[in-house]
Each structure stands twice: as C-alpha cells, then as structure tokens.
Amino acid sequence: MKIILATFNARYTHSSLGLRYLYANMHELQANTQILEFVINTQVVDAVASIMECGPDVVGLGAYIWNANEISEAVTIIKQISPQTIVVLGGPEASYLPHRVDFSVADFIIKGEGDIAFYELCKSIQNGKKPSQKFIQAPLVDINAIELPYTYYSDHDVAHRYIYVEASRGCPFTCEFCLSSLDKKVRNVDLQNFLNALQNLWDRGVRNFKFIDRTFNQGIERANRLMDFFLAKEPPYFIHFEVIPDNFPASLKERIIQFPPACLQLEVGVQTLHASIAENINRKLNIPKIKDNLTFLQTQTNAHLHVDLIVGLPGESLEQFGANLDMLYAMCKSEIQIGILKKLSGTTLNRHDTQEGMVYSHKPPYEILQNNLISFAQMQEIKRFARFWDMLYNSGNFQKSVTYLFIDGKVYAGFLAFSNWLYTQTLSTWQISLDRLALLLFTYLDAVLHVACEKLKADMIEDLMVVRGRKLPNFLRYDEVFESKNDAIKVKFNKRQQKHAHNKCSLV
C-alpha cells in the first residue's frame, strides 16, 4: 500500500513538523510512505498531479488555517479523478467542528493528535477493516512513547528551511481565542532525548530553530537548560521562542543577556493591556511584570522582540486598542505585530457573539468583520493600519524616520492619520515597492507634518542603508556615494531582525 503525506506550507522556508511526526510513527508502513510539501501559491492542480504520480492508495493531508482552501480543492480533485484513492484529513482546521471549508468528500477525518491514529487507520485499511465512521477521535498521545521526527528533516530542509521543533505540547492557560487552551495539560518531551535530537540537528548543520512550544518560559528549569544548549554553541545561529511576558526570573534573564545580536528572537504574547478585557477572555494579565520584563528585554539584551497585540477582542474599542499600542510602544521599541481577531472552530469565543455583536468572515482566516464597538468600515480601516504598520514599522526599513509620526507620543493617532493618507495615495496595501513607500513617507512627513527636510533625509538614508548593498532611491541621493557603517552579522533568514538590532543598539 502506497501512502502519501502532503500539505501546503505558508512559505517555502517553512517545513511541516506534523507530517514528519506522522512519518516517524508509521512503523512497518514507513517504507511505502512519502512526504510531499507544497506552498500555498502552488497551483493546487499541479500539487495534485505530483501526488497522483506516486500512485497512492492513501493520501493524508494536513489542514491548517492558512491552507484550508487549498486542502479543500485538493481533496475534491483527488476524489474526482481517482475515487478509489482514500483521502484522510488531519490538522487543526479539520479537527474541530463546524467546518467552514468543505471537507465533505474526504473519506476520513482524524480529530486531534494523529501521530498514532493515522498509522492505526492505515493499518486497518491495509487489513481490509476500514472504520465505519468518518470522524476518528484521536486521544492525546504520550509524547514520550512516540518516535521523534527530527531525523526526517532532509539535507535540503537543513540547507534551505527553518527547522521546527517542540520541547512540549499544550498550554496551561485558557485564552478563549486560542486552540492551544483546549489542551490545558502541558506535556514535556523527555529533556535528554530532546537535547540529543537538537545535537544531531546541529551536527547536520541546522542553525535556524523555531520552537513551537506555546509557553516556552513556563517551565524555567527546562527553559534554562535549553538556552544553555545554544549558549554553548558558536554563533551565528537563529532560535525563536514563544514566551509569556510575565515570567522572567533572574536565572532566565542571566541567560538571555548572554545571547549575541541576531541570534535570539522572542515572540511575546501580550494581546491586550486592559485587565477587564483580558479577564473577559480568560487571559492572565500582570501589567507591572509585563512592563518590567519588556523594559529589561529592550534595554539589557540583544534579543529581537516580536510583541503581539490583537484588534477586535470582545468588549475592546478602537480607542482602547490605541491606548494599548501607545502603552506598549512606550514600554519597548520592538516589533509589534498587530493581529486581527480570528474565531477558530473549537474555541469558546462564540459565547460573546450575541452580547458583543461579533461578526466574523466565513472564509479563512475567519477574521472579525465588525462588532458593537467597531463598525465594518472601521475594521477595514484598522486592517489597512495593521498592514501598513508591518510594512513601515515592523519591517525595520524605516526605524528612525517612521518615529516622526509619533513625535508627540501618540503612536496610534499619528500612525492612523498617516495610514489613512497613505491609502488615498495607493488605493492598495499590497505590491508597493520600497522606493515608492519611502517617497510616500517622506512626502507625508515633509508636506503634511513639516518635518525638517535635511534631518529627515539623513535619517531615511541611514534607515534604508542598514542593509548593505541596497540601492538608494533617486530622491534621496547625494552627489557623493553613501557608504553604510553597519557591519551587521550575516545570518540566513533574519535580515529583518538585523535591521531592528541596528536601531536597538542606538537606543541603548
């Protein structure tokens, strides 16, 4: 029996840890199992052609919020052209009801962790004992009783992709917008086995590790030992951890301080800074600790910070969101990711729908469209705000010049005014070249805010030339050749972090 495991990743540099877990635990069926990975901009029909060329009896597809439409189309085509091929769906988007994308023609859907359930299903099919039910509820696995997947990253993966790893599964918190909150018990991988796997990856040349643990710094002793593993290595390397903002004891801080620039990225889940809003969605919030820890990370470490805020939480107005952004920017000058609230099947967010007038798109990624406090028009405005914020502030391309928009300390109001003006000039939030974006920002700061032209020009030149070899836009060129003074560490995949690090050094 030939088995294909496939999915559509969001980007080429991504890799599927889930497929490799399935493959690692196929036992005697592994020899006839193959992994195929595509990206979401692949033509689905071309992906299906590649799958069907292998002559599969069973196709297992991983469904996620970013690829739900592609998976739906793929399973439909497969069943149209080869009805006898058995298609099995798994992953978060297939695991929870209601399905808002059509998966109805799939033969089986595994709900929950498929590490063992997929193998058992394939074994039953091979033995002529197909289950009678379409939905198969998989129990939580004993994470230390299954095979780890890391030997199944290929040499090509090592050379060209981020390597995803997990030291634990589950989350101790109960935030209503997050599927991880449904698995409240944190299950840790045996630490020595995990460290051995990390060492094997390192020996193979892996230098880009992305930990998918939801709360990496919840277990401090484990976090310390994992950080010690990397601190003992010779840079350059790049590691990414998701952390909670209020748990940085002295032992962890001592280790974070030791990481050199461009090596450590911390994704800090703040989401809101309003206590009543956080309580309303069952989220823990300790503002004094958050402020102290962000200040420490900003001023005393080389860590690149990626701090998350959410727009559209039940009961939170745009004015309150704006206050969140102002407050967070005052705490740290890090990358601030502005996310739009999504309602995922399986979460308990729907309990707010009637009272708060929450209306969500029925299409992935199921973002909020409006509620009682934010109209549809305002929500579209703030989505443009978030996109432009990412292009100008988070990108690191305008680290100094963008701050002229916030000169009076009103970050939200200042950037909102610019965002609205920018949209009148572009009528789009996509496919805007860096040169055009620079010219538009310069024009607004010069003509609308009346910023001193020569100082602005000097700062914008410094911003843009952080990346060595970049060509300066025509409107900024001097007679002499501008040479960048930046000698940023060259590490694959993290030019964005380098740009932020350049500005961070100037702030400290």
Q: What is the mean pLDDT of residues 200-216?
A: 95
Q: What is residue 333's predicted lDDT score, i.e. its pLDDT? A: 87
First and final CA of the chain: distance in angstroms?
61
Q: What is residue 175's predicted lDDT score, i.e. its pLDDT? A: 87
pLDDT at 505 over 50: no
Give the residue among 268, 305, 294 at the shortest CA–CA distance from 503.
305
pLDDT, tens only, 282-316: 988 899 999 999 999 999 999 999 999 999 999 99
| Residue 105 amino acid letter | V
Length of the chain: 508
Q: What is residue 507's predicted lDDT score, i.e. its pLDDT? A: 47
Give the residue among 261, 277, 422, 393 at the shortest CA–CA distance from 329.
393
Token couple for 207: 């230098």
Q: What is residue 478's predicted lDDT score, i.e. its pLDDT? A: 59
Give the residue among 484, 397, 381, 409 at the shortest CA–CA distance from 433.
397
- Helix or strand holding residue 95 (H, E): helix 92-95
Q: What is the mean pLDDT of residues 74-87?
A: 98
DSSP string for residues in 135-174:
EEEPPPP-TTSS---GGGS-HHHHHHS-EEE-SEE--S--
Q: What is the mean pLDDT of residues 56-72?
A: 97
Task: Count the Cβ atoms, other than its own, within 10 Å of residue 250.
Answer: 8
- Is residue 75 within 8 A of residue 104, CB to CB? The reply is no
- Is residue 373 within 8 A of residue 318, CB to CB? The reply is yes
* Pairwise CA distance, residues 269 & 417, whole Å: 27
Q: What is residue 170's predicted lDDT score, i.e. its pLDDT? A: 86
Between strands 238-243 and 168-169, the pairing is: unpaired
Q: Which residues of 112-149 are buried (b: 16+ CB within 10 A; e: fewer)?
A: bbbbbbbbebbeebbeeeeeeeeebebeebebeebbbb
pLDDT at 154 over 80: yes
The C-alpha torsion from 10 through 12 and 13 to 15, rounded to 10°, is 70
- Alpha-carbon distances, residue 387 vs 290, 379, 384, 392 (angstroms): 25, 12, 5, 9
pLDDT at 33 over 90: yes
Q: Where are the alpha helices (DSSP H) in 232-283?
A: 250-258, 275-280
- Is residue 493 within 8 A of residue 13, CB to CB? The reply is yes
Name residues whose C-beta falls within 8 Å of residue 204's C-beta, 6 or more positions apart in sequence.
153, 155, 158
Q: What is the mean pLDDT of residues 414-439?
A: 96
Q: What is residue 424's predicted lDDT score, i.e. its pLDDT? A: 96
Q: How confident is the model at residue 184 (pLDDT cuts 50, 70, 90)?
A: low
pLDDT at 489 over 70: no
- Is residue 197 within 8 A of residue 154, CB to CB? The reply is no
pLDDT, tens only, 109-143: 999 999 999 999 999 999 999 999 999 999 999 99
Average pLDDT taken over every residue of the chain: 92
Name residues whose C-beta falls within 8 Å of residue 203's C-beta, 6 or more positions apart in sequence.
none
Q: What is the mean pLDDT of residues 390-415?
A: 94
* Pairwise CA distance, residues 328 & 301, whole Å: 18
Give the residue among 139, 215, 138 at the shortest CA–CA distance from 170.
215
pLDDT at 485 over 50: no
pLDDT more than 70, % of the chain: 93
Q: Which position has the higher pLDDT, 495 or 94?
A: 94
Tokens 């009896």 locate to: 57
Q: What is residue 498's predicted lDDT score, i.e. its pLDDT? A: 61
Angle between helices 495-507 and 287-300 (to 10 degrees): 90
pLDDT at 491 over 60: no
Task: Count the Cβ atoms, other than its own, within 10 Å of residue 386.
Answer: 19
Q: What is the mean pLDDT of residues 477-505?
A: 51
* Pairwise CA distance, residues 256 & 224, whole Å: 9
* Pairwise CA distance, residues 142 & 360, whole Å: 36
- Is residue 138 within 8 A of residue 114, CB to CB? The reply is yes
Token couple for 343: 């309602």
Q: How confident is the model at residue 1 (pLDDT cuts 50, 70, 90)?
A: very high
Q: How confident is the model at residue 499 (pLDDT cuts 50, 70, 90)?
A: low
Give the residue among 84, 131, 81, 83 at the shortest CA–CA distance from 111.
131
pLDDT at 191 over 50: yes
Q: What is the mean pLDDT of residues 239-265?
A: 95
Give the residue among 499, 496, 388 at the shortest CA–CA distance from 444.
388
pLDDT at 455 over 80: yes
Q: What is residue 402's predicted lDDT score, i.e. its pLDDT? A: 96
Q: Where are the domains of the chain?
A: 3-137, 162-374, 382-508
Same CATH topology for 3-137 and 162-374: the answer is no
Name residues whose C-beta falls within 8 Å of residue 179's C-beta, 6 or more positions apart in sequence.
92, 96, 344, 346, 347
Q: How confident is the model at residue 495 (pLDDT cuts 50, 70, 90)?
A: low
Helix (H, G, I), strand (E, B) or coil at 9: strand
Rg (CA), the chain: 24
Q: What is residue 171's predicted lDDT score, i.e. its pLDDT? A: 85
Q: What is the mean pLDDT of residues 95-107?
A: 95
State in words which class domain 162-374 has.
alpha beta
Number of H helices and number of E strands within the chain?
A: 18, 16
CA 166: distance to chain centroid? Answer: 15
Q: What is residue 300's predicted lDDT score, i.e. its pLDDT? A: 95
C-alpha torsion sign, points 421, 424, 428, 433: negative
Q: What is the mean pLDDT of residues 229-235?
A: 97
CA 335: distance to chain centroid? Answer: 13
pLDDT at 104 over 90: yes
* Pairwise CA distance, residues 181 & 271, whole Å: 15
Q: What is residue 496's predicted lDDT score, i.e. its pLDDT? A: 62
Task: Count the Cβ atoms, other than its own, within 10 Å of residue 55.
Answer: 10
* Pairwise CA distance, residues 487 & 115, whole Å: 45
CATH number of the 3-137 domain = 3.40.50.280
Cβ-based burial of 96 (10 A; exposed 0-12, middle 13-18, buried ≥19): middle
